[in-house]
Copies of this chain bind each other. A is one copy, B any other.
Amino acid sequence: MSENYFLSRKSCRNFKDEKISEKEIENIVTQASKAPTCGNMQLYSVIVTEDKDKKKALANYHFNQPAAVTAPIILTICADFNRFNRWCKINEADAGYDNFHSFIVSMTDAIIFAQQLMTIAELQGYGTCYLGTVNYNAKEISELLKLPELVIPVASLAIGLPAIKGEETHRLPIKGILHKEFYVELTDSEIKEIFKIHDENPDNKKFLEETGKDNLAQVFAEIRYPKDLNEKVSESFYNLLKEKGF
């Protein structure tokens, strides 16, 4: 079963208009909290957004993508050194988590937790979708969710019962991602070869027509994830880290 699930899993972008009970969320979170964590510090938190108005506001910060709009719940998983830091202060320990490394450690913890939560939810029949837009409006999301010092949103998961099955995922041949003993850069022709799976995908070809670009790489680099946007988000996200005390 497990092999089958992992090989065939798909993200879900359209959900039924059905609630998930508090108890079910707590059950999933309890299981996910057994995921590995640095030094057993559990440097993460999860905020459940279910209230209609709040979810509308949050979906808006995720550019109203269908997964965010249709999901009954959005979970925002945060890198969180606040709780641990406070425990240290209460115990008069000389805590020093106001730095970049502590953010990286807590972000790692948070993503591990998020992914475990996703797998547990999907194995229970829920559909899920990461909202990759979480970094774009991280400051606005932080305000909406009232995130305090040393808490940064790093993953958003739309979750619910699937209305429409997700599309099959095409991935690069593992030759492209697996290296033995040390990293060997692929040749140009090997790169071209492994990316054929995307270049030749009819779903991707429609992007060329829509955008007038010559090839899929240009669609990614110049339209979907353009340099100026990446630089703008770099600055706002880095500023948020500083503002929140990392």
Interchain CB contact under 8 A, B36 and A237: no
Which one, B6, B48, B112, B132, contacts A180 given CB within 8 A? B48
Which one, B25, B92, B214, B227, contacts A218 given CB within 8 A? B92
Query: Which residues of chain B have C-beta atoms less than 8 A from A112's C-beta?
Result: 111, 114-115, 130
A20 within 8 A of B: no
Nearest-neighbor residue (CB-CB) of A114 within chain B: B112
CB distance from A143 to the nearest CB of B (A): 10
Q: Once bound together, how far apart are the Cα atoms of A225 and B37, in whole Å? A: 14
Query: Which residues of chain B have C-beta atoms less than 8 A from A228's C-beta?
Result: 96
Known: A186-B83, A191-B87. A33 touches B120 (CB 8 A): no
A161 within 8 A of B: no
Nearest-neighbor residue (CB-CB) of A182 within chain B: B146
Interchain CB contact under 8 A, A146 and B90: no
Q: Once bound together, how far apart are the Cα atoms of A221 and B83, in whole Å? A: 13
Q: Once bound together, how far apart are the Cα atoms of A188 and B137, in whole Å? A: 31
Please report which residues of chain A, range 23-44, place their CB below 8 angstroms from some CB of chain B when the two chains form the complex: 25-26, 29-36, 38-42, 44
Size of A's binding interface in residues, CB under 8 A = 118
Q: Once bound together, how far apart are the Cα atoms of A111 and B151, in whole Å? A: 19
Which one, B100, B111, B154, contacts A238 given CB within 8 A? B100
Interchain CB contact under 8 A, B220 and A88: yes
Interchain CB contact under 8 A, A130 and B221: no
Please give the residue numbers on chain A whose beta carbons come within 8 Å of chain B beta carbons, in ascending order. Answer: 1-3, 6-9, 11, 25-26, 29-36, 38-42, 44-51, 54, 78, 80, 82-84, 86-88, 90-97, 99-102, 104-105, 107-108, 111-112, 114-116, 118-120, 123-124, 129-130, 132, 135, 144-148, 151, 154-155, 169-172, 174, 176-186, 188, 191-192, 195, 198, 214-218, 220-222, 224-228, 230-231, 233-234, 237-238
Give 21 pairs: A residue, B residue, CB < 8 Å, sorted on A.
A6-B31, A6-B32, A29-B174, A39-B132, A40-B169, A40-B170, A45-B179, A47-B181, A51-B181, A86-B186, A90-B192, A93-B220, A94-B218, A95-B217, A99-B231, A99-B234, A104-B237, A108-B111, A112-B115, A146-B183, A146-B184
- 14 more contacts with CB within 8 A, not counting A40-B169, A45-B177, are A7-B30, A33-B172, A45-B178, A46-B179, A47-B181, A54-B181, A83-B186, A87-B192, A87-B217, A97-B227, A101-B230, A101-B233, A115-B116, A146-B183
